[in-house]
């Protein structure tokens, strides 16, 4: 075929990322060269990846065989619509993060910039290969490269013990997940020994084995995505990693896990069983509620965002569950609606969560402080970061007119049709799930208000915050880019969904395009305009008009003379910035209402304490329910096994001798 | 029936039987120098058995093997071990955990197991020496037993070398010996192994003032 295929371009992009990474090794200590030249170059390639993937959406699937890999086991690659959606996400979001990283990484302690450069770009290239892989071998190689490169990125500041510990937990759970994925692929080959995805699509497996494959995929990809109970690495790894890395992991890497789950459950396994959907729905709901509740009570801004990522992944899993249920009952239009919600939320979350993580990076650089209790009032010294973070916060809270609202609205639309399910229990239970999703959305709003309000609004809680400076030009550019993505996804949903439609159609055989094409581009009515519709531009214009009107009214009624006076101090003479509502105080009602959900250790001050200290520590129940028992069991078994090692050579020889004898006796011809 | 077995096979069987007998003798022997002499004698029988097999079959590499056995296991290694024993002044083995009569009984059981196990394998083989496979396996097991029951490091090395004798006999009897390269490799390994262990003996004695391996129990990782 003349000319280059999109797939070839994407492979070249992955190679280019690797080349940039290697170029970083030429001068590993030269921060200027690496940050100002190599990272922006990586961003350009990111945009190219996004554009190529966008252009290939809706086209025919393209395949390629790379001549690398083991002998007789080359890498098979394939670019279809599902891969294209996730490559698009990777390209556009990583471009913003790379530009930001150009201004973020500086000289100093930790890993040398050259090493960071190669780890970061290997991470990007391996994520691209994950979405392009068309056989289990290539997939696992790319998947493990992704896990390892991100592990090294997380442990950039490896001199701190807690960061090494976070990295270890991350690596451990990544490997548990990888084992489950490997087993899942093993089940799907059906004993044929052919590990290409094309062969897996042809396999006719018994229902028991398809269910086993699905559950293994849910566990394996769930470990990477952060589904409960395999979520514990997220709140550890995200605060430990540098902010661009957190943004990349939360925004993009978690989505590769969603990609894998979609690939396995809708593409490789062609039959669907309804209870898979129920399992995914239940796990997703649990994850969403758990994530959002814990995110409301965090006092570390990056942990708050990490738990919020868990919540969003939970919502995506809920949408996947709903899609599975609709698909299993052959309700394809509704399945397409729920699938659109999945893909849309992936895009939306990738945009706004990386935006928010990057904002925390700027705050961290300006103030050297991660704890919410020592921030506040940063909108004055850091107006750019504050206003751009507001975009992310609005999207994260699921408010119109930004991206988070669209996907959550689509998801709820899907739920509204669930009473039509032909299963007597499902059509009663699923609406309850819808109510819980609404609860999650509301609590997510609470968490976002807390995040924004405590960091940027009010007065500065520490005097040192006055020296905070706004983000540099590179950082601003990256933030603006991501904010624009968030705005675009919020305002132009029909346009985006029409592009995503190819992927939905590929997986389910149905899409929303026919319905949407009957309406104008400004309007989103997934099933019919009579039933429900959303016109984002009208919402945007209304909000803007109201704000401008209010401002005009205030300005015209009030003469513009700003007076600053001390407010009534309620009789307390010590009234300063420290008397503002704290992060802990803000979330106290949630802690009180949902008390059984948390494991809390509180330390109250005594009655006449001269220096009263209030301390609350919220811990994760899952540590005590799942992980510590397993760790204790492992210790116990190790203690048993260590008795074998008595130190006597005669005994060791005896072990070999008895083994030899037994083998001779057992393995007789 | 007896007339159907050729003379060479009978000779090989005889030498193999003597090797087994010497294996028992080594299991019972507690004096170091006698143990090494018995080992040298075992090597000599192995040399004779290989030589007979070589003459009968006319395979050239078996002659090399026989020569190698003579040089290494009958002359060089016993000489090295003799020197070690003289320099280290180890006269006798201490009383083992299991006394000698019990060890001999366990050895008899092992011989029975070895013959039982080797029976179906030797039926697959077509060499004139196939009957000795069971004996070879029994020699390996007896040597292993000796390594387990002895306390002194030197007798363990002798046990290890005797086990190599058994493996060599097994290879000769089942397939007329291993390929030359493998045999040379093993011979070199054994030689180097003994030299290194000789160095270790001095180190162990310097460290613990004794060659008793019970002292090494405290080396384990706690």
Tens digit of each residue's pLDDT (9 = 90 or more) over A135-191: 899 999 999 999 999 999 998 888 888 899 999 999 999 999 999 999 999 999 887
Position A630 in a domain? yes
The pLDDT of A393-411, averaged and rounded, is 90
| Residue B80 belongs to domain spanning | 7-91+119-216
| Nearest CB to A657; choose among B121, B148, B218 | B148
pLDDT (average), residues A365-381: 87
Examine the pLDDT at B91 and tell me if it is beyond 80.
no
Assigned domain for B194 exists: yes
Give the mean pLDDT of B204-215. 74
Predicted pLDDT of residue A74:
85
Asked if residue B111 is part of any domain, the answer here is no
pLDDT for position A2: 41
Instruction: Give the number of residues written for chain A.
Output: 669
Quote the domain boundaries for residue A652: 625-666
* Reported confidence tier of residue B127, pLDDT bands at 50, 70, 90: low
Q: Do A668 and B145 touch (CB under 8 A)?
A: no
Is residue A165, in this structure, part of any structural domain at all? no
For B149, the closest chain A residue by CA position comes to A650
Q: What is the pLDDT of residue A445?
A: 94
Tell me: pLDDT of A93 over 60: yes
- Residue A573: alpha-carbon gap to chain centroid: 46
| pLDDT number for residue B130 | 65
pLDDT in tens, A31-43: 888 888 889 999 9
Element at A155 (helix H, strand E): none
Model pLDDT, residue B97:
66
Of A645, A656, A665, the CB nearest to B220: A645
The verdict on residue A126 lying in a domain is no
Mean pLDDT of chain A: 88
- Does B189 map to a domain? yes
Q: Tell me how many domains chain B contains.
A: 1
- A647, A657, A668: residue with CB nearest B144: A657
A611: preceding bond cis by omega (within 30 degrees): no
| Cβ separation B120–A668 shorter than 8 A | yes
Q: Which of A643, A644, A647 to mutate to test the interface with B (most CBs of B within 10 A)?
A: A647
Is residue A656 included in any domain, yes or no?
Answer: yes
Asked whether residue A639 is domain-assigned, the answer is: yes
Contacts of B148 in chain A (CB under 8 A): 650, 653-654, 657
Domains identified in chain A, total number: 1
Evaluate whether residue B11 is within a structural domain: yes
- Residues of chain A in contact with residue B124, where contact means CB-CB under 8 angstroms, are 669
Give the model's pLDDT for residue A466: 84
CB contact under 8 A, A668 and B219: no
* Min Cα–Cα distance to chain B from A634, Å: 17
User: Dihedral of CA B187/B188/B190/B191: which sign?
Assistant: positive
DSSP string of A81-149? HHHHHHHHHHHHHHHHHHHHHHHH--SSSSS-HHHHHHHHHHHHHHHHHHHHB-BHHHHHHHHHHHHHH
Q: Is residue B113 part of a domain?
A: no
Choosing among B110, B157, B217, which should be mutated to test the A contact, i.e. which has the most A CBs within 10 A? Answer: B217
Model pLDDT, residue A109: 60
Chain B: give the shortest CA distance to residue A635, in Å. Answer: 14
pLDDT-based confidence at residue B2 (cuts at 50, 70, 90): very low
Which chain B residues have a beta carbon less than 8 Å from that of A657?
Answer: 141, 144-145, 148
Using a CB-CB cut-off of 8 Å, the residues of chain A touching B145 are 657
Asked if the Cβ–Cβ distance from B148 to A669 is below 8 Å, we say no
* Nearest Cβ partner for A669 among B120, B144, B151: B120
- Whether residue A653 lies inside any domain: the answer is yes
Q: How large is the average pLDDT for residues B129-156?
A: 84
The H or E element spanning position A50 is: helix A39-56
For residue B3, is pLDDT > 60? no
> What pLDDT, on the 0 to 100 scale, is given for residue B219?
67
- Asked if the structure places residue B14 within a domain, the reply is yes
- With a CB cutoff of 8 Å and minimum separation 6, the contacts of A376 are A454, A455, A456, A457, A458, A459, A460, A461, A462, A465, A577, A580
pLDDT more than 70, % of chain A? 96
Of the listed ranges A99-113, A159-173, A344-358, the least confidently predicted one is A99-113
Q: Say if residue A510's pLDDT is above 60.
A: yes
What pLDDT sits at residue A255?
95
Residue A7 lies in a domain: no
The pLDDT assigned to B1 comes to 41
Q: Where are the alpha helices (DSSP H) in A207-262?
A: 207-225, 233-240, 243-248, 254-262
pLDDT over threshold 60, residue A318: yes
Model confidence at A550, pLDDT cuts 50, 70, 90, reads: very high
| Interface contact B117-A665, CB threshold 8 A | yes
Chain A interface, Cβ < 8 Å to B? 645-650, 653-654, 656-657, 660-661, 664-665, 668-669
- Taking 90 as the threshold, does the pLDDT of residue B187 lie above it? no
User: What's the pLDDT band for A1 if we cut at 50, 70, 90?
Assistant: very low
| Residue B181 in this model has a pLDDT that exceeds 80 | no
- Cα–chain center distance at A404: 14
pLDDT, position A291: 93
Q: Is the pLDDT of residue B110 over 60?
A: yes
Q: Is B217 on the interface with A (CB under 8 A)?
A: yes
Using pLDDT thresholds of 50, 70 and 90, give the confidence band for residue A4: low
């Amino acid at each position: 075929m003349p000319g280059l295929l999109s797939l070839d371009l994407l492979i070249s992009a992955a190679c280019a990322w690797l080349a940039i990474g290697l170029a970083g090794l030429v001068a590993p200590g030269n921060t200027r060269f690496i940050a100002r030249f190599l990272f922006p170059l990586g961003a350009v390639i990111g945009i190219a990846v996004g554009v190529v993937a966008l252009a290939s959406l809706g086209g025919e699937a393209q395949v390629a065989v790379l001549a690398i890999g083991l002998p007789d086991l080359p890498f098979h690659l394939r670019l279809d619509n599902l891969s294209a959606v996730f490559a698009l996400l990777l390209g556009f979001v990583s471009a913003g993060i790379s530009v930001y990283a150009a201004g973020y990484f500086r000289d100093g302690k930790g890993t040398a910039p050259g090493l960071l450069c190669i780890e970061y770009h290997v991470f990007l290239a391996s994520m691209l290969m994950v979405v392009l892989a068309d056989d289990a071998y290539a997939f696992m190689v790319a998947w493990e490269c992704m896990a390892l490169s991100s592990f090294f990125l997380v442990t950039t500041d490896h001199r701190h013990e807690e960061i090494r510990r976070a990295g270890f937990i991350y690596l451990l759970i990544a490997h548990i997940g990888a084992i489950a994925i490997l087993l899942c692929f093993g089940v799907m080959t059906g004993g044929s020994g052919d590990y290409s995805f094309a062969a897996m699509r042809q396999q006719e497996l018994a229902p028991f084995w398809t269910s086993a494959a699905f559950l293994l995929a849910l566990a394996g990809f769930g470990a990477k995505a952060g589904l409960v109970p395999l979520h514990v690495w997220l709140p550890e790894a995200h605060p430990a990693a540098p902010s661009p890395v957190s943004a990349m992991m939360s925004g993009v890497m978690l989505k590769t896990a969603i990609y894998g789950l979609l690939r396995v459950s809708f593409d490789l396994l062609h039959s669907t069983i309804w209870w898979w959907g129920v399992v995914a729905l239940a796990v997703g709901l649990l994850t969403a509620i758990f994530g959002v509740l814990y995110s409301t009570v965090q006092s570390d801004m990056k942990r708050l965002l990490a738990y919020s990522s868990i919540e969003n992944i939970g919502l995506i899993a809920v949408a996947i569950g709903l899609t599975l249920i609709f698909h299993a009952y052959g309700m394809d239009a509704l399945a397409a609606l729920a699938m659109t919600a999945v893909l849309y939320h992936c895009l939306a979350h990738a945009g706004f969560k990386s935006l928010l993580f990057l904002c925390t990076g700027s705050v961290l650089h300006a103030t050297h402080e991660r704890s919410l209790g020592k921030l506040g009032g940063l909108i004055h010294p850091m107006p750019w970061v504050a206003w751009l973070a507001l975009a992310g916060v609005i999207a994260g809270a699921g408010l119109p007119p930004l991206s988070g609202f669209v996907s959550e609205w689509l998801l709820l639309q899907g739920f509204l049709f669930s009473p039509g399910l032909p299963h007597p229990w499902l059509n009663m239970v699923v609406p309850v799930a819808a109510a819980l999703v609404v609860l999650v959305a509301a609590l997510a709003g609470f968490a976002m208000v807390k995040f924004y309000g405590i960091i940027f609004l009010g007065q500065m809680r520490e005097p040192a915050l006055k020296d905070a400076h706004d983000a540099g030009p590179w950082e601003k550019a990256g933030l603006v880019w991501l904010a624009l993505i968030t705005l675009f996804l919020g305002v132009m949903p029909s346009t985006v969904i029409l592009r995503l439609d190819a992927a939905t159609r590929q997986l389910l055989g149905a899409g929303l395009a026919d319905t949407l094409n009957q309406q104008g581009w400004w309007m989103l009515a997934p099933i019919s305009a009579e039933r429900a519709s959303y016109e984002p531009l009208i919402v945007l214009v209304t909000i803007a008009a109201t704000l401008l009107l209010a401002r005009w009214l205030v300005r015209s009624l009030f003469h513009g003379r700003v007076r600053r006076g001390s407010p009534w101090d309620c009789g307390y003479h010590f009234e300063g910035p420290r008397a503002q509502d704290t992060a802990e105080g803000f979330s106290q009602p949630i802690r009180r209402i949902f008390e059984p959900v948390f494991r809390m250790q509180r330390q109250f001050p005594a009655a006449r304490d001269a220096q009263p200290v209030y301390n609350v520590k919220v811990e994760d129940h899952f540590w005590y329910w799942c992980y510590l028992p397993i760790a204790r069991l492992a210790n116990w078994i190790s203690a048993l096994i260590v008795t074998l090692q008595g130190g006597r050579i005669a005994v060791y020889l005896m072990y070999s001798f008895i083994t030899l004898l037994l083998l001779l006796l057992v393995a007789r011809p | 029936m007896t007339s159907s077995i050729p003379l060479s096979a009978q000779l090989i069987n005889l030498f193999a039987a003597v090797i087994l007998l010497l294996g028992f003798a080594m299991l019972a022997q507690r004096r170091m120098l006698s143990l090494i002499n018995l080992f040298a004698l075992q090597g000599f029988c192995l040399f004779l058995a290989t030589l007979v097999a070589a003459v009968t079959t006319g395979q050239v590499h078996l002659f090399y093997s026989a020569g190698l056995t003579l040089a290494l296991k009958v002359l060089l290694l016993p000489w090295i071990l003799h020197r070690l024993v003289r320099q280290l002044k180890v006269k006798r083995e201490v009383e083992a955990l299991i006394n000698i009569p019990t060890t001999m009984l366990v050895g008899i059981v092992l011989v029975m197991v070895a013959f039982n196990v080797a029976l179906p394998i030797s039926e697959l083989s077509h060499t004139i020496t196939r009957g000795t496979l069971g004996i070879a396996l029994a020699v390996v097991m007896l040597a292993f037993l000796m390594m387990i029951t002895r306390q002194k490091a030197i007798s363990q090395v002798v046990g290890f070398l005797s086990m190599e004798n058994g493996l060599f006999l097994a290879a000769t009897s089942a397939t007329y010996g291993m390929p030359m390269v493998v045999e040379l490799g093993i011979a070199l390994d054994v030689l180097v192994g003994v030299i290194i262990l000789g160095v270790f003996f001095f180190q162990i004695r310097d460290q613990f003032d004794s060659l008793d391996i019970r002292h090494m129990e405290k080396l384990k990782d706690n």
